[in-house]
């Protein structure tokens, strides 16, 4: 594979560097060398990618992905998760620690990193657990996790219910300057709930999860954040109340960032329809007014990143009574299309949409990439903004198919993904991993 | 500011039209559909011509994942009255305790060849899941806190027997609406048939959005009682006290129990209903349950005729 690549005449959208226009992008030895308005001469031995009419973007970064390895390899592995990632245009993913051996120690962190290296497709940044075994009782060895390569700590999937423990977590984490990523759910308020509490839950006779289950915890943690001067990242924000509090906290200078998942800004609780477990996740799909508030927060900068909360599950986890259905949907391969729906609808500019997938998440977690200035990693996603296609879960590169978006019409699709100057996805095919090379 | 009001289309599935083959809920049924079923039920009242030819040689499977006396025996008698054999399956001592999934159980029952599965389950939507995967009719005999369509139909039948039409009548439903499938089915059924529905109970037991589903909501029983043509009392489960929905059943009885003093303030001719089983002395005083206004036992006997009509319509 060529180590010099010239992306010709694509529309480069690089929000961090204020670029939005037709450019040539030259990359060499895994780095961006030059971004030029003028035609660049083709270096000898360079591979030329004709990007006319296409978008040439910094590789997408997903702060919230469940790769399921170790422990639930039937749902996903680091390899299949990376395949799904690059197929969706993601060149970096943050892997959640709630695997079936919890990533609460360096051995598990290293296992994930080794598997990612072997896959050789995209960057995988593990997140370590806040508490041992995600039990919410004792702190995991944060120093060890960070030095092993964890970029954030989180008990994702579960809240830290104990306020004192949460306060100490924020305090302790300040010495490493890692974000504390929180799944905000007061379990006493959400107990037994299967979907958002509202007219639809009343109609369907399903126990509701009130918005306050999230908002009350966001409020608590922002108070603790102010006191500890720590760094907080609120995962998968789902409702208006949370957005309002985070907006206000940002204005007052607190170090808080947050992410929103595409399903939360596209669907509302009515998508549960006829007890469709593919519309079941935590936090649940909320009211249309919440969807509206999330969209406004994506626009005004309250939200830092679009993150998928890619949560692979098997058929048997979903083909059950709604109350028994397991939470979560896969998201890596549908994220761009759903984000572009907001662009087509005039809610987001293309520039802002790209920022939420690239520089926004990079900045929130302090990760490399997310932009295309000279010297930046040659992580590039090429998008055809005009192609119309239909989501087909059977074609997913992920090992799982659990999505409520099967059959949804989309406009705009990833056609190529490059990581460190190597082509890892092209025309629907994931490049050979190093393992099989 | 870019437009943020523009709506990206939501996923489909909201208020899907009902399939006549299944009876999963009342929601979505049209008035004429309900009326024709209720009219048909008249042909199944005691003394009507024999109907045992209708399902002779056929099997109706009763699939009860939750305890039930009244509904299960009522469906049993209804199936017998149409000449069907009845397969009675209950969760106790079944393969469910061995970890069999709902779908596996349902498919195995289906493999025995029933024309209909009559199903009760503790999870809302369980019959909807089964209906998507079997070929026979699925009749919801109560799913979680969602719907109990045959109960609402027999209630409507009982009221029509008295009043002829429900147009302009006011039905007051009192109690734990949050956890009541009877309340939801009745709301849809009564509204579709032209009645007004008032729901009354402690605020903790009134789910959000009832008004948008067509109910009037109040917390003051004494204020609305004189307006009601029928008062339907819902069962209050004793464990609601532990979950802090209520301080005590004593206080519940004081605020929302239908006692003799309240009964006196009811309209002349207004009736008292209850889907059973009754917590005597909590939601309903014994003297009222057994009093002149009570139509509770008529509800039970009408249940068989209505369920015969349901089986007949769904297996036609």
pLDDT tens sequence across A232-263: 999 999 999 999 999 999 999 999 999 999 99
Positive or negative CA dihedral for B267, B271, B272, B275? negative
Contacts of B144 in chain A (CB under 8 A): 205-206, 323
Question: Considering only alpha carbons, which residue of chain B is nearest residue A208?
Answer: B207
Q: What are the tens digits of pLDDT across the range B185-224?
A: 999 999 999 999 999 999 999 999 999 999 999 999 999 9
Question: Which pLDDT score is estimated for B199?
Answer: 98
Tell whether A348 lies on the interface with B, counting CB pairs under 8 A.
yes
Fold of B31-147+302-314: Rossmann fold (3.40.50)
Confidence label for B302 from pLDDT (cuts 50, 70 and 90): very high
> Does B70 participate in catalysis according to the annotation?
yes
Model pLDDT, residue B249: 92
For residue B2, give the chain A residue with the closest CA: A347
The string of pLDDT tens digits covering residues B92-109 is 877 777 788 999 999 999
Flag whether residue B91 sits within 8 Å of chain A, measured between CB atoms: no
The residues in A 181-210 lying below 8 A from B, measured between CB atoms, are 197-208
Known binding-site residue numbers of A: 64, 66-68, 98, 156, 183, 236, 309, 313
Residues of B in contact with A323 (CB under 8 A): 123-124, 144
> Which residue of chain B is at minimal alpha-carbon distance from A191?
B243
- What integer pLDDT is reported at residue A2 of this predicted model? 53
Kindly give the pairing relationship between strand A19-28 and strand A31-36: antiparallel
User: What distance in Å separates the CA atoms of residue A295 and residue A266, rounded to the nearest whole number?
Assistant: 9
**A 311-330 residues with CB below 8 A of B?**
316, 319-324
Q: What ipTM, to 2 d.p.? A: 0.91
Q: Which residues of B touch A289 (CB under 8 A)?
A: none
Check whether B14 has a pLDDT greater than 60: no
C-alpha A315/C-alpha A343 separation (Å) is: 32
B3, B10, B53, B98: which one is catalytic? Answer: B98
Q: Residues A264-283: what's their mean pLDDT?
A: 97
Q: Which of B3, B129, B143 sits opposite A347 (nearest CB)?
A: B3
Q: What structural domains and CATH numbers belong to chain A?
A: 4-56+376-432 (2.30.40.10), 59-365 (3.20.20.140)
With a cut of 90, say whether residue B18 has pLDDT above it.
no
Q: How confident is the model at residue A3 (pLDDT cuts 50, 70, 90)?
A: confident
pLDDT of B178 higher than 50: yes
Specify the range with the lowest mean pLDDT, choosing from A4-8, A343-347, A412-416, B16-20.
B16-20
Q: Are A74 and A103 in contact (CB under 8 A)?
A: no
Element (H, E) at A250: helix A240-251
- B244 part of contact set with chain A, CB < 8 Å: no
Residues 6+ apart with CB under 8 A from B159: B166, B169, B171, B195, B230, B271
Closest CA–CA distance from residue B228 to any residue of chain A (Å): 24
DSSP class of residue A385 equals E
- Where exactly are the structural domains of chain B? 31-147+302-314, 149-299
- Subunit contact A321:B6, Cβ cutoff 8 A: no
Tokens of A394: 């059977």
Tell me the per-residue pLDDT of A304-349, one tens digit each, with 9 for 90 and over. 999 999 999 999 999 999 999 999 999 999 999 999 999 999 999 9
d(CA A422, CA A420): 6
Asked if B98 is an active-site residue, the reply is: yes
% of chain B exceeding 70 in pLDDT: 94
State the nearest Cα–Cα gap between A320 and chain B, in angstroms. 7
**What is the Cα–Cα distance from A173 to A146, expressed in whole angstroms?**
10
**Beta carbons of A320 and B129 less than 8 angstroms apart:** yes
Tokens encoding B297: 């036992």
Q: To the nearest whole angstrom, how far is the Cα of A237 from the nearest Cα of chain B?
A: 18
pLDDT at position A28 over 90: yes
Task: Name the residue facing B10 among A267, A324, A346 (closest C-beta).
Answer: A267
A101 interfaces chain B, CB cutoff of 8 Å: no
Q: Which residues of A are annotated as a binding site for Zn(2+)?
A: 64, 66, 156, 183, 236, 309
Alpha-carbon distance values, A423 to A27, A41, A67, A83, A332 (Å) = 12, 21, 22, 12, 18
pLDDT band at B12 (very low <50, low <70, confident <90, very high): very low
Cβ of residue A404 closer than 8 Å to a chain B Cβ: yes
Inter-residue contact A121 to A424 (CB < 8 Å):
yes
- Phi then psi for residue A342, to 5 deg, are -70, -30
> What does the alpha-carbon distance between residue B277 and residue A196 come to, in Å, rounded to a whole number?
31
> Rounded mean pLDDT of B125-150?
96
pLDDT-derived band at A436, boundaries 50, 70, 90: very low
Per-residue pLDDT tens digits for A364-393: 999 999 999 999 999 999 999 999 999 999
Cβ neighbourhood burial of B96 (10 Å; 0-12, 13-18, 19+): middle
Domains B31-147+302-314 and B149-299 in one fold: yes
pLDDT at A147: 98
Q: Say if A426 is an interface residue toward chain B (CB within 8 Å).
A: no
Q: Which of B4, B8, B146 sits opposite A205 (nearest CB)?
A: B146
So what's the pLDDT on residue B316? 83
Work out the angle between the directed axes of helices A212-228 and A163-173 (0-180°, nearest 10): 50
B147 contacts on A by Cβ (under 8 Å) = 205
- pTM recorded for the entire structure: 0.94
Would you state the pLDDT for residue A27? 98
Q: Is A406 on the interface with B (CB under 8 A)?
A: no
At a CB cut-off of 8 Å and minimum separation 6, what does A96 contact? A64, A65, A66, A67, A127, A154, A156, A157
Confidence class of residue B15 from pLDDT cuts 50, 70 and 90?
A: very low
Cβ contact A267–B209 (<8 Å) = no
Number of A–B residue contacts, CB under 8 Å: 116
Which CATH topology does B149-299 take? Rossmann fold (3.40.50)
SS3 per residue for B233-302: ECCCCHHHCCCCCCCCHHHHHHHHCECHHHHHCCCCCCEEECCCCCCECCCECHHHHCCCCECHHHHHHH
Q: B139 to chain A, minimum CA–CA distance in Å?
A: 16
A273 to B11: CB separation less than 8 angstroms, yes or no: yes
Mean pLDDT for all residues in chain A: 97
The Cα A125–Cα A112 span in angstroms is 9
Give residues with Cβ within 8 angstroms of A69, minimum separation 6.
A76, A77, A78, A81, A99, A111, A112, A115
B97 part of contact set with chain A, CB < 8 Å: no
pLDDT band at B168 (very low <50, low <70, confident <90, very high): very high
Q: Is-catalytic flag, B120?
A: yes
Residues of chain B with Cβ-Cβ distance to A347 below 8 Å are: 2-4, 6, 8
- Cβ neighbors of A159 (< 8 A, separation 6 or more) are A136, A182, A183, A184, A185, A186, A187, A217
Q: Is B179 a catalytic residue?
A: no
Q: What is the DSSP string of B69-89?
A: SHHHHHHHHHHHHTT-EEEEE
Query: Per-residue pLDDT for B243 more than 90?
Result: no
B11-25, B41-55, B160-174: which range is least confident on average?
B11-25
CA distance A154 to A219: 18
Q: How confident is the model at residue A431 (pLDDT cuts 50, 70, 90)?
A: confident
Which pLDDT does position A432 carry in this prediction?
61
Q: From the candidates B21, B40, B42, B70, which is the catalytic residue? A: B70
Q: What is the mean pLDDT of residues B232-245?
A: 87
How far apart (Å, rounded) are the C-alpha atoms in residues A239 and A246? 11
């Amino acid at each position: 594979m060529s180590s010099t690549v010239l992306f010709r005449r694509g529309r480069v959208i690089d929000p961090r560097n204020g670029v939005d226009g037709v450019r040539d992008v030259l990359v060499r030895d895994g780095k961006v060398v030059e971004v030029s308005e003028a035609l660049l001469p083709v270096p000898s031995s360079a591979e030329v990618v004709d990007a006319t009419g296409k978008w040439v973007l910094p590789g997408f970064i997903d702060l919230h992905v469940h790769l399921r390895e170790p422990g639930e390899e039937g749902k996903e592995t680091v390899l299949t998760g990376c395949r799904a990632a690059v197929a969706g245009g993601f060149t970096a993913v943050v892997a959640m620690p709630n695997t079936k051996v919890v990533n609460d120690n360096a051995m598990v962190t290293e296992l994930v990193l080794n598997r990612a290296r072997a896959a050789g497709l995209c960057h995988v940044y593990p997140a370590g657990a806040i508490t041992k075994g995600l039990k919410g009782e004792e702190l995991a060895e944060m120093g060890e996790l960070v030095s092993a390569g964890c970029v954030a700590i989180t008990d994702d999937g579960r809240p830290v219910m104990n306020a004192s423990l949460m306060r100490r977590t924020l305090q302790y984490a300040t010495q490493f300057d890692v974000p504390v990523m929180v799944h905000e759910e007061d379990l006493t308020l959400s107990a037994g709930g299967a979907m958002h509490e509202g007219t639809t839950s009343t109609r369907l006779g399903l126990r509701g999860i009130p918005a306050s289950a999230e908002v009350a915890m966001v409020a608590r943690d922002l108070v603790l954040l102010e006191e500890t001067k720590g760094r907080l990242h609120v995962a998968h924000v789902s409702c208006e109340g949370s957005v309002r509090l985070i907006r206000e906290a940002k204005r007052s200078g607190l170090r808080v960032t947050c992410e929103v998942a595409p399903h939360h800004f596209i669907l509302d609780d009515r998508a549960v329809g006829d007890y469709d477990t593919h519309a079941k996740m935590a936090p649940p799909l909320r009211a249309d007014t919440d969807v509206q508030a999330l969209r406004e927060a994506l626009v005004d900068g309250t939200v830092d990143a679009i993150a998928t909360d890619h949560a692979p599950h098997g058929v048997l986890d979903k083909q059950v009574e709604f109350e028994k259905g397991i939470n979560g949907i896969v998201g890596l391969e549908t994220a761009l299309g759903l984000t572009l729906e907001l662009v087509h609808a005039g809610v987001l500019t293309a520039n802002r949409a790209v920022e939420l997938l690239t520089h926004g998440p990079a900045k929130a977690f302090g990760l490399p990439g997310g932009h295309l200035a000279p010297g930046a990693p040659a992580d590039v996603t090429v998008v055809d903004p005009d192609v119309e296609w239909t989501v087909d879960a059977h074609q997913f590169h992920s090992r799982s198919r659990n999505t409520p978006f099967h059959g949804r019409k989309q406009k705009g699709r990833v056609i190529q993904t490059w990581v460190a100057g190597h082509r890892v996805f092209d025309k629907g095919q994931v490049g050979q991993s190093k393992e099989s090379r | 500011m870019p437009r943020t009001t523009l709506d990206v289309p939501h996923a489909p599935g909201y208020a899907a039209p009902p399939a006549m083959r299944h009876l999963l809920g009342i929601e979505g049924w049209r008035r004429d559909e309900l009326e024709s079923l209720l009219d048909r039920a008249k042909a199944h009242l005691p003394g009507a011509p024999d109907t045992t030819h209708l399902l002779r040689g056929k099997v109706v499977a009763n699939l009860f994942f939750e305890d039930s006396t009244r509904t299960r025996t009522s469906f049993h008698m209804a199936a017998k009255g149409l000449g069907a054999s009845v397969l009675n399956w209950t969760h106790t001592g079944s393969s469910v305790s061995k970890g069999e999934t709902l779908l596996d159980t349902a498919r195995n029952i289906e493999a025995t060849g029933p024309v209909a599965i009559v199903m009760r389950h503790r999870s809302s939507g369980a019959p909807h899941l089964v209906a998507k995967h079997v070929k026979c009719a699925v009749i919801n005999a109560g799913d979680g806190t969602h719907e109990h369509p045959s109960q609402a139909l027999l209630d409507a039948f009982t009221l029509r027997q008295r009043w002829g039409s429900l147009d302009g009548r006011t039905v007051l439903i009192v109690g734990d609406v949050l956890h009541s499938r009877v309340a939801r089915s009745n709301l849809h059924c009564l509204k579709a048939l032209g009645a007004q529905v008032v729901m009354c109970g402690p605020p903790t037991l009134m789910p959000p959005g009832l008004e948008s589903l067509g109910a009037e909501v109040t917390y003051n029983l004494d204020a609305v009682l004189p307006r009601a043509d029928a008062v339907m009392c819902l069962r209050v489960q004793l464990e609601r006290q532990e979950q802090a929905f209520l301080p005590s059943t004593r206080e519940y009885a004081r605020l929302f129990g239908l006692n003799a003093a309240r009964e006196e303030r009811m309209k002349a001719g207004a009736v008292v209903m209850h889907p059973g089983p009754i917590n005597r002395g909590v939601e309903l005083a014994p003297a009222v349950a057994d009093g002149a206004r009570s139509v509770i036992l008529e509800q039970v006997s009408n249940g068989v005729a209505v369920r015969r009509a349901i089986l007949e319509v769904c297996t036609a």
